[in-house]
Structure 1
Amino acid sequence: MHYTTQMDAARKGIVTDPMRIVARKEKMDAEALRESIAAGKVIIPANKNHTNLDPEGVGQGLRTKINVNLGISKDCCNVDLEMDKVRLALDLKAEAIMDLSCYGKTREFRRKLVALSPAMIGTVPIYDAVGFYEKNIKDLTVDEIFEVVERHCEDGVDFLTIHAGLNRQTAEKINSRNRITNIVSRGGSLMFTWMQMNDRENPFYEYFDRLLEICQHFGVSLSLGDGCRPGCLNDATDACQVEELITLGELTLRAWEKNVQVMIEGPGHMAMGEIKGNMMMEKRLCHGAPFYVLGPVVTDVAPGYDHITSAIGGAIAAANGADFLCYVTPAEHLRLPDRDDMKEGIIATRIAAHAADIAKGIPGARDWDNAMSRARAALDWETMLDLAMDPEKPRRYRESSTPEHEDSCTMCGKMCAVRNMNRVLSGKDIQLND
């Protein structure tokens, strides 16, 4: 039976190969997964032109996935360096990579990325449009904007971030100047600028059906962007953010009518006490569609450490229903991240995702931790290091400070609680002073 998208197949009762792969990874029944996809609660971003994709599911009841941002810009346009970052992201088991390229040979880089990566690929086409046509944002035509969208889909991109919810009605609330940071979304600011300077409606909102036809043709998923996400704690959960979210919920239903898979993007900067309520609000207003969050960053005063502030927020968000975490690096708000920044950001985000999966009771999530605990109880250092999320760093620490006794470390030495409990429970004598 013919189908266009994973949602179309699911609604026709077809269990596709990507569904079988995801069901196996998630340790769940393929038919149950199909039902969740049919209902829009789970998506499998899978462009028919991404031929080497190793598919992943995003949504209710599945492991929390993470995304890594990279790409070439005018100030940092080294394609080889960005490809090295791609390989690092894949080595560190990121499930998705977003190409945010906005300068130079973007298509060349994008095609290399799709060809190399088994992880799902996302892009923000409006970033690319300005550089591709070498025009000011106000001079882009509607047709040119949609031509870039179609080009990204042709190249094999699995999901697109589209800021369709920032319409003229919501833009009026931005003009009221009640925010400290106005719009901090790059894509949102570009669409706002285009609307203001042309005195027209957001083309992605006005011609949303045209966008859906393109996505349907290639099997591409929509990541409905949060152009009004809060850029500081003060702006969180305000009228701009909530009104855009309501619009995204309406667009979600329109996308589902065309069998186009959707996830919703969310905040942003937000105090910890607001995160749970925001997760509940998104799921309610957007009909249970998967939720993709940037952070949330839980304090505004830690530049250089925002991989930590966002991991705190990401863990809370995912434990309360967020399905997909976008990594944040120590370089956030400061510069384009380098390779080391990327690694710190990926590991911090993976910690947040895994901690949330344990809290949510995702099948098998605790197995890894239990294996580590058994190795620790046995003082089996090699197994502990092998099981570590990032084996390289703890191995380096271990080797940098050699203990007197191999079954201890230089923190406690012979006073190691685990070592002494193992010895006394097995009937051995404990000698601490010799």
Structure 2
Amino acid sequence: MATQMQQAREGRITDAMKIVAEEERIPVETIRERVANGTIAICANINHKNLRPRGVGEGLRVKVNANIGTSSTFPDIEPELEKLDEAVRCGADAVMDLSTGNNIDVSRQRIIEHSPIMVGTVPLYQATVRSIREHGAVVEMTDDDILETIEQQAKDGADFMTLHCGVTRSAIERMRRQGRVMDIVSRGGSFIAGWMLHNEMENPLYEHYDDILDICEKYDVTISLGDGMRPGCTADATDRGQLTELITLGELVDRAWKRGVQVMVEGPGHVPYDQIEANMKLEKRLCRHAPFYVLGPLVTDIAPGYDHITAAIGGTLAAVSGADFLCYVTPAEHLALPTIEDVHTGVITSRIAAHAADLVRGVPGAREWDLEMAKARKVLDWNRQMELAIDPDLAKKKRGARNPADEGACSMCGDYCAVEIINKYFHKENCPCQD
């Protein structure tokens, strides 16, 4: 079966393109054209049967991903499925299964089977766990371990895969010569860098890129080119290692598109606010405007417990400047495996950042949503405000806890509500306090 990109280039409009066009309020021919040229990716593995496709990229609503998955400390899949349900309920567009606990295959298969939204994976995690169990060390991982894992995850229905193909020996050497505070913080990046340094060989994901393209073409898996050299603190942002990897990723985008394989590019983690716009424009320039998927960026390093906020600050500017897909950051970032409450907070916070950018990007429906909320506030229509709230349950809880049931204004202003006062004297006919 042809990929979405291959069909788009042949002039065919797929069912997935129709669904994306309807959701985005954009002509379906525009979707087809942008899928054909690679600026939109529709991450939809042919084996993910209950998926409602979504598009990522040019002119579309900024999408939000939630990370879930088991760990060696918490290997039970059931809580992760509950987190998946919560992420979907909160409006996430994708989840990534980052499982490293027991029975990784079963965890992934159950998540994909359960998920109506895009599912991403990181095959290197499973290949590493497999290598440790079978060979005793990460550095004993074989090329077959990696390729067989990618094939299995594609066969199971993963819609997109983070693959750290750009962590090359030259990128590592440039990073080493320049020096870094935190070296490599990407888990996948550290796995492959450790393997390369120990074996004194080039990255097998880079060396076997054509084999990977064969697999992804077969199942229509979107490659998400991982940022294994991303900065782990603001002091390391926009350095030689990061930019060397980005140049390589741009070349890998070209090779994927030549085969008709869809691709996204992943972006930096910790970036000072004044460097974010430049980072986004560099990616778009070097990677030919491929969809850009960013973690954060986190604009400061000093806020453990509040990193969902530091990421939202950076995420809004990133999306305004060109990023198309935000990976959520939860209050547990840098601290622990997130709880279901952390997942809720992370998704909602990232959605706020994404929507703030949508307003600036001119995404259809974004300004209308804000305008409807403003109109409801003007007449103190609390029911309508709750309907329009991005987190209705929290809004209702806050409203109900601190206001009398029949109160028109809120208890912040009480008898001195600005809305009531101006309506009384400026728009008498709209005032909810008039008989």
Aligned length: 428
Partner of 2:351: 350
Q: What amino acid maps onto 1:196 in structure 2?
A: L
Structure-2 separation of matches of 1:324 and 1:416 = 39
Work out the CA distance in 1 between the residues paired with 2:67 and 2:123: 14
1-side partners of 2:50 and 2:212: how far apart? 25
CA distance in 1: counterparts of 2:150 and 2:276, whole angstroms:
32
Name the CA distance, whole Å, in 2 between partners of 1:426 and 1:306. 43
The equivalent of 2:39 in structure 1 is 41
How does the TM-score come out when normalised to structure 2? 0.96
Alpha-carbon separation, structure 2, partners of 1:170 and 1:206: 15
Rounded to whole Å, the distance in 1 between the matches of 2:166 and 2:130 is 24
The answer to whether the 8 A contact 1:72-1:100 is kept is yes
Structure 2 portions without partners, runs of 5+:
none
The within-5 A match list for 1:12-411 is: 12-133=10-131, 134=133, 135=135, 136-176=137-177, 178-403=179-404, 406-411=407-412
Please give the alpha-carbon distance, in whole angstroms, between the structure 1 residues aligned to 2:70 and 2:421. Answer: 54
The AA in structure 1 aligned to 2:329 is V
Matched position secondary structure for 2:113: helix
Give the CA deviation at 1:175: 3.0
Instruction: Output the amino acid matched with 1:60.
Output: E
State the shift of 1:131 in Å.
2.2
- Give, in angstroms, the shift of residue 297 of structure 1: 0.2
Q: Percent identity?
A: 50
What is the CA–CA distance in structure 2 between the aligned matches of 1:116 and 1:342, rounded to whole Å? Answer: 17
RMSD between superposed Cα atoms in Å:
1.4
Distance in 2 between residues matched to 1:193 and 1:146, nearest whole Å: 18
* Structure 1 residue 426 displacement after superposition: 4.7
Q: Determine helix, strand or coil for the equivalent of 1:277.
A: helix
Asked whether the 8 Å contact 2:21–2:31 carries over to 1, the reply is yes
Work out whether residues 403 and 413 of structure 1, in 8 Å CA contact, stay in contact via their aligned partners in 2.
Answer: no
Q: TM-score, normalised by structure 1?
A: 0.96
Q: Which runs of 4+ in 1 moved over 4 A?
A: none
**Which letter maps to 1:16?**
T
Q: Which runs of 5+ in 1 are unaligned?
A: none
Shift of 1:312: 0.3
With 164-173 and 351-360 compared, the bigger mean Cα shift is at 164-173
Deviation string, structure 1 residues 334-372 (Cα, Å, up to 9, x no partner): 111111111111111000000000011111111111111
* SS in structure 1 of the partner of residue 120 of structure 2: strand
Measured against aligned partners, the alpha-carbon deviations of 1:225-249 in whole angstroms (never above 9, x if no partner) come to: 0011011111101000111000000
Which digits, 9 at most, give the CA deviation of each residue in 1:125-167, with x for residues without a partner?
0101122351421111101111000000010000000000011
Q: Find the residue that maps to 2:256 and give its secondary structure.
A: helix
Contact kept, 8 Å, 1:104 with 1:131, in 2: the verdict is no
- Counterpart CA distance in 2 for 1:391 and 1:101 is 31
Shift in Å, 1:201: 0.8
Q: After TM superposition, give the deviation of residue 330 of structure 1 in Å.
A: 0.7
In structure 2, the residue corresponding to 1:58 is in which secondary structure? strand
Contact 2:48 2:112 in 1 (8 A): yes
Q: Which moved more, 1:145-154 or 1:129-138?
A: 129-138
Find the residue that maps to 1:157 and give its secondary structure: coil
Alpha-carbon contact 2:164-2:205 (below 8 Å) kept: yes
- Output the CA distance in 2 between the equivalents of 1:179 and 1:256: 33
Measured after TM superposition, the shift of residue 99 of structure 1 is 0.1
